[in-house]
Chain A
């Protein structure tokens, strides 16, 4: 069920007023009472994959899906509904959203913080370099990467990094992660620069299709959950994240979905 913005705002204001400032509210102030609506932008290997009809998500799995369900449990919201956003950039566009929060490996940046609110970080990532099959790098040097056709997902840190490494040679950017994956598999890209956890998951699920995960580029990005500016959900979600961190849930979910320990990869210099 989609809910009209006017109703949503009224509801939000009403529920926010009810929320006690210090204690966790009995049930968090979601736009639809009893239902946490979560924006996603599938697919991202390890984080979120699934099946959709229009924007309605009928089935989903991955780290962020489990995290959303765990958060709903902490917030005492009985139901979770996922909504697919086809354009990743829509998450940090101004304007009201139909979902309560968005979980989609959105890096916390100052520019984005001007438009949307972020939770405390729930995941720390570096960028990594995944090579096409048959390619081996002798040294972990940026100069080695400059000889290659680099590819990345559009509007991501990977794209920014690729352009920085390769100022003179066009980086091939793709909006659709599946397409990016296919280009690397079909060796029209020499290397993909992207989220280390995602590329690690991609490599682990298809070791025969890709070359090695050659190394990482230290960026220390922190992923945050996205809220409408001033959302009353931010405080309870931050508190819930802290509890999930403390009781080891976040670590368990990461171990479940990301078998490759990317922190052990050597860094490019």
Chain B
């Protein structure tokens, strides 16, 4: 069944989405780092909240549309008076401890309820009581508006501090040279100083060679580096393009059939998987505000829904994001500058 998937991106800079067609309500789910709305039959805030709790359909899930609202959350009551929807939910809605997930839950609820004509804000109750400290970042003592949810209430990030210089070593320089020859490290990173950038480049190589991802150039990694060749594209294509290899947690930047760089990245964690398929970059933002998770995403290039390449201070060896492709700060701007709108992005589940 091809469903009514009115995928409207509620990006931070965009205004409220157009109202749902008559007899339909908008429900706010997530894809990557942003909110997407889908429609469901109904007209009331109560119906919209129940549809939110019911979660995405199987077809929506295949498109990696997710929800942070726990299924089977009890809907104890939804009443609207004076523009305020009082939504009383069971304690399951407050389960878990990750602030970002709890924030996203509130964002989904508020954007869903305030999409109903006449509802301007949401007073959230848990088991009939006012939440205290259950949803970090939201003043739940007061009704919350859609503007509160979209508010970029944190100054845009500053440039991350440069790590302290160390004494350069010839051995490190030789390792870096080899990594740069193979496309795992930019030439500018060959400075003889060991550090995070080199560790990430070693890890990128280990991911490509399917070795243990510890970022340390031990005997096995060094032996493999000796024999290694520059990575090759996994798919056919022309011009400048990117392949994201979900199994290897690598992004290949390809130009003219040659892999220019193989980047250490981290994609969507289980439950937030990055969708596989062929896409193209459609939106670029120097600093993009994640509405549901309330964080800044520097150097963001969106390629499907709310899924983007963006800089992150935390790029572990495995999948860890909400669906986006996290890029280390050493490569984030470099990649951003090379991905104009229309650049092809192929996401492969298996490479």
Contacts and interface: CB of A to CB of B under 8 A. Distances in A.
B343 to A, nearest CB: 27
Contacts of B126: 50-51, 58-59
A209 B158 contact: no
B128 interface: yes
Interface in A14-56: 42-45, 48-53, 56
Contact of A186 (B91, B154, B293): B154
Interface in B111-142: 125-134, 136-137, 139
Nearest to A208: B295
Nearest to B90: A59
B137 A185 contact: yes
Contacts of B153: 182, 185-186
Contacts of A204: 97
A96 interface: no
Contacts, number: 95
Nearest to B101: A205
A58 B157 contact: no
A208 B130 CA distance: 26
B94 interface: yes
Given A42-B133, A59-B91, A186-B155, A136 B125 contact: no
A230 interface: no
Contacts of B155: 186-187
B126 to A, nearest CB: 4
A57 interface: yes
B112 to A, nearest CB: 20
Contacts of A84: 132
B99 A206 contact: yes
A181 B314 contact: no
A48 B136 CA distance: 13
Nearest to A257: B97
A202 B100 CA distance: 12
A53 B161 CA distance: 45
Interface residues of A, number: 32
B99 A182 contact: no
A131 to B, nearest CB: 12
Interface string B148-179: 00000111011011000000000000000000
A63 to B, nearest CB: 12
A134 interface: yes
A205 B127 contact: no
Nearest to B313: A208
Given A187-B154, A209-B295, A53 B137 contact: no
B98 interface: yes
A136 B161 contact: yes
> Interface centre among A44, A52, A181, by most B CB within 10 Å?
A52
Given A134-B157, A186-B153, A187-B155, A177 B133 contact: yes
Nearest to B134: A49
Contact of B127 (A58, A186, A187): A58
A133 interface: yes
B133 A43 contact: yes
Contacts of A263: none
A204 B136 CA distance: 12
Contacts of A177: 133
Interface in B298-315: 313-314
A159 to B, nearest CB: 19
A185 B160 CA distance: 16
B76 to A, nearest CB: 11
A57 B314 CA distance: 37
Contacts of A52: 129-130, 132
A50 B136 contact: no
Contact of A50 (B134, B158, B314): B134
A51 B314 contact: no
Interface string A48-90: 1111110011110000000000000000000000001000000
A219 interface: no
Nearest to A188: B155
A195 to B, nearest CB: 14
A5 interface: no
B99 A178 contact: no
Given A45-B133, A206-B99, A206-B100, 4 more contacts: A51-B127, A182-B139, A205-B99, A208-B313
29 contacts: A45-B133, A49-B133, A50-B129, A50-B131, A50-B132, A51-B125, A51-B129, A51-B130, A51-B132, A51-B134, A53-B128, A58-B129, A59-B91, A59-B126, A59-B129, A134-B157, A182-B137, A182-B153, A186-B154, A186-B155, A187-B154, A202-B136, A204-B97, A206-B136, A208-B313, A208-B314, A209-B136, A209-B137, A209-B154
Question: Which are the 6 A-B pairs with shortest beta-carbon distances?
Answer: A43-B133, A51-B129, A206-B99, A49-B133, A58-B129, A51-B126
